[in-house]
Amino acid sequence: MSGARTGACPACGHHVAVDFFDGGEQPLATIAWPGNAEEARAMPRLPLDFVQCVNCTHIHNAAFDYAHVPYSSKPNRMFNSGAAWSAFMRGLVERILARVPAIPVVVEVGHGDASLLAALAQLRPGGRYIGFDPHGATGGREGIELRAELFDPPGHVAALAPDIVVARHVLEHLESPLSFLQSIAFAAAAAGRDVPAYFEVPCVDRLQETGRTADLYYEHSSQFTTRSFTAMLEACGARIDSLAHAYDREVVTAFVSLRAPAGHCEAARAAGQYRASARESRSAIARQLEALAGDPGGVAIWGGTGKSAAFMNRYGCDATRFPVVVDSDRSKVGTFVPGTGQEIRFRDWLKDHPARTLIVPPQWRAADIVREIRREGIGASRILIEHGGALVDFLAGEHPYQRPEEPA
Ligand SMILES: [Zn+2]
């Protein structure tokens, strides 16, 4: 298939897309606000290189760069004053209020002029109506908190326990709307509750049906189809309560419930345990190494690259206390251990310079190495491997790695 591209789809995360629309180069179309004709004509041209995800049909500009979009200094002027829009908004307010408790906590991501929060607060006073928008309206109104900051799911879901999170015409401006939704879902699971949400984005189903192209400009770098919007919701494990179109199918909306599977929390807990135990083992093993460094019987480390180099750097096996590093791979001999600087010697060096203790960082190779040293008549009486947060005796200690006596 010609025109195939790789790169993560903003909506579904799939990595194969195909060429969709080559729009050449155009200036920013909506948020630059040039002050006069000359300034307008001199605006920099930016590439429109739209691709379509083969998995979910999402359309995005592969050449898009946020650095060219000055949201901070030039606000996105959007007025919700059209008659049809107002009717839609009235209906939306009712639908939101029907889904939240009598005293609700409503979070709106990208509140803009805050008219939706104001309407909700007016009809259902007493709740908390919190808007997050670095470039939106500021200042307090009765019952409304407007924060000039980004919504941060891990902190804000736990702290605010929202009854609903609303994001209208926001997801299509995010570099990765999928990651935003997944982080809300994960925060919900971590908080042990569902987070209901309402999302609304422009829909370009008719773009392909009709062959029109004017939707595809620089600021609109990410364009949802009904299929890609649904794929995004499915990819974050959302339960879709209702999916609907508005404005003659130019907008797609959904009420959903977000909560990542319990397995994600289990994975996070296990990661935390690994992290904590790795931190503990670092000092425990460093103490063991400190004791070994003074061993008059001698200590050698087997292997000078890869896992062995990682081990030495992790646990501070410096070249002064642990000068002897050997390897059975002749191609590594004469090179130096990255970071710590020991010269790597061939394993036969141990025949003339015996070491009582051999440290073998790659545990899974220890059985082979024991066979090798026995075959070669290298006399190390103790082989140590890292296991369970300590250095343990490979031949006599408890560990899950195969011993040399066992069949391969
Ligand atoms: Zn996709």
DSSP 78-136: ----SHHHHHHHHHHHHHHHTTS-SS-EEEEES-TT-HHHHHHHHHSTTSEEEEE-TTS
Between the CA of 11 and the centroid of ligand 1 the distance, in Å, is 5
The CATH number for 259's domain is 3.40.50.150
Q: Does residue 351 belong to any structural domain of this protein?
A: yes
Q: Residue 78 pLDDT more than 60?
A: no
pLDDT (0 to 100) of residue 80 = 47
pLDDT (0 to 100) of residue 84 = 56
pLDDT one-digit tens code per residue, 315-340: 999 999 999 999 999 999 999 999 99
Q: Does residue 405 belong to any structural domain of this protein?
A: no
Q: Does residue 45 belong to any structural domain of this protein?
A: yes
Element (H, E) at 208: helix 205-210
Q: Residue 112 pLDDT more than 80?
A: yes
Q: How many CB atoms lie within 10 A of CB 20?
A: 22
| 315 and 282 Cβ atoms separated by less than 8 Å | yes
Describe the strand order of the beta sheet including 382-387 as a list of residue ranges. 344-346, 325-327, 299-302, 357-359, 382-387, 390-393
105 & 224 share domain = yes
What's 370's DSSP letter? H
Q: For residues 374 and 359, give the distance between their C-alpha atoms in angstroms, rounded to a whole number.
A: 16
Q: For residues 9 and 107, give the distance between their C-alpha atoms in angstroms, rounded to a whole number.
A: 27
Residue where a domain terminates, one of 21, 36, 68 = 68
Residue where a domain terminates, one of 237, 264, 291 = 264
Residue where a domain terminates, one of 264, 296, 312 = 264
Between the CA of 245 and the centroid of ligand 1 the distance, in Å, is 20
225: helix, coil or strand?
coil
Q: Does residue 74 belong to any structural domain of this protein?
A: no
29 & 90 share domain = no
Q: Residue 396 pLDDT more than 80?
A: yes
Confidence band for 151, pLDDT divided at 50, 70 and 90: very high
Beta-strand runs (E) in 110-263? 128-132, 144-147, 164-168, 195-202, 222-223, 239-246, 251-258
| 105 and 127 Cβ atoms separated by less than 8 Å | yes
211 & 322 share domain = no
Residue 357 CA: distances (Å) to CA of 22, 362, 379, 385, 389: 66, 15, 9, 11, 19
Element (H, E) at 366: helix 366-376
Q: For residues 378 and 298, give the distance between their C-alpha atoms in angstroms, rounded to a whole number.
A: 13
Q: For residues 24 and 5, give the distance between their C-alpha atoms in angstroms, rounded to a whole number.
A: 18
Q: Determine the straight-line distance between the first and last CA of the chain, rounded to whole angstroms.
A: 46
Q: Does residue 175 belong to any structural domain of this protein?
A: yes
Between the CA of 249 and the centroid of ligand 1 the distance, in Å, is 20
Between the CA of 271 and the centroid of ligand 1 the distance, in Å, is 29
Q: Does residue 358 belong to any structural domain of this protein?
A: yes
Q: For residues 228 and 284, give the distance between their C-alpha atoms in angstroms, rounded to a whole number.
A: 51
Number of structural domains (the chain) is 3
107 & 248 share domain = yes
Q: Which residues are in the CB-under-5-Å shell of ion ligand 1?
A: 9, 11-12, 14, 53, 55-56, 58
305 & 257 share domain = no
Between the CA of 185 and the centroid of ligand 1 the distance, in Å, is 19
pLDDT (0 to 100) of residue 321 = 96
pLDDT (0 to 100) of residue 222 = 96
118 & 183 share domain = yes
| 346 and 381 Cβ atoms separated by less than 8 Å | no
pLDDT one-digit tens code per residue, 272-316: 999 999 999 999 999 999 999 988 899 999 999 999 999 999 999
41 & 133 share domain = no
Mean pLDDT of the chain: 92
239: helix, coil or strand?
strand
225 & 337 share domain = no
Q: Encoding tokens for residue 169?
A: 């015409």
Residue found under tokens 């959903």: 256
Q: Does residue 403 belong to any structural domain of this protein?
A: no
147 & 200 share domain = yes
Q: Encoding tokens for residue 208?
A: 């392909």
104 & 240 share domain = yes
Q: Residue 51 pLDDT more than 90?
A: yes
Between the CA of 92 and the centroid of ligand 1 the distance, in Å, is 28
Share of the chain above pLDDT 90, in %: 85
pLDDT (0 to 100) of residue 3 = 81
Between the CA of 177 and the centroid of ligand 1 the distance, in Å, is 11
What is the DSSP code string of 267-335?
HHHHHHHHHHHHHHHHHHHHHHHHHHHT-TT-EEEE-SSHHHHHHHHHTT--TTT---EEES-GGGTT-
Q: Does residue 75 belong to any structural domain of this protein?
A: no
pLDDT one-digit tens code per residue, 192-209: 999 999 999 999 999 999
63 & 91 share domain = no
Q: Which has more pLDDT, 282 or 408?
A: 282
pLDDT (0 to 100) of residue 81 = 47
364 & 234 share domain = no
pLDDT one-digit tens code per residue, 255-277: 999 999 999 999 999 999 999 99
pLDDT (0 to 100) of residue 184 = 98
The parent domain of residue 11 ranges over: 4-68
Between the CA of 8 and the centroid of ligand 1 the distance, in Å, is 8
Q: Residue 1 pLDDT more than 90?
A: no
pLDDT (0 to 100) of residue 407 = 56
pTM confidence score: 0.86
The CATH number for 345's domain is 3.40.50.720
Confidence band for 83, pLDDT divided at 50, 70 and 90: low
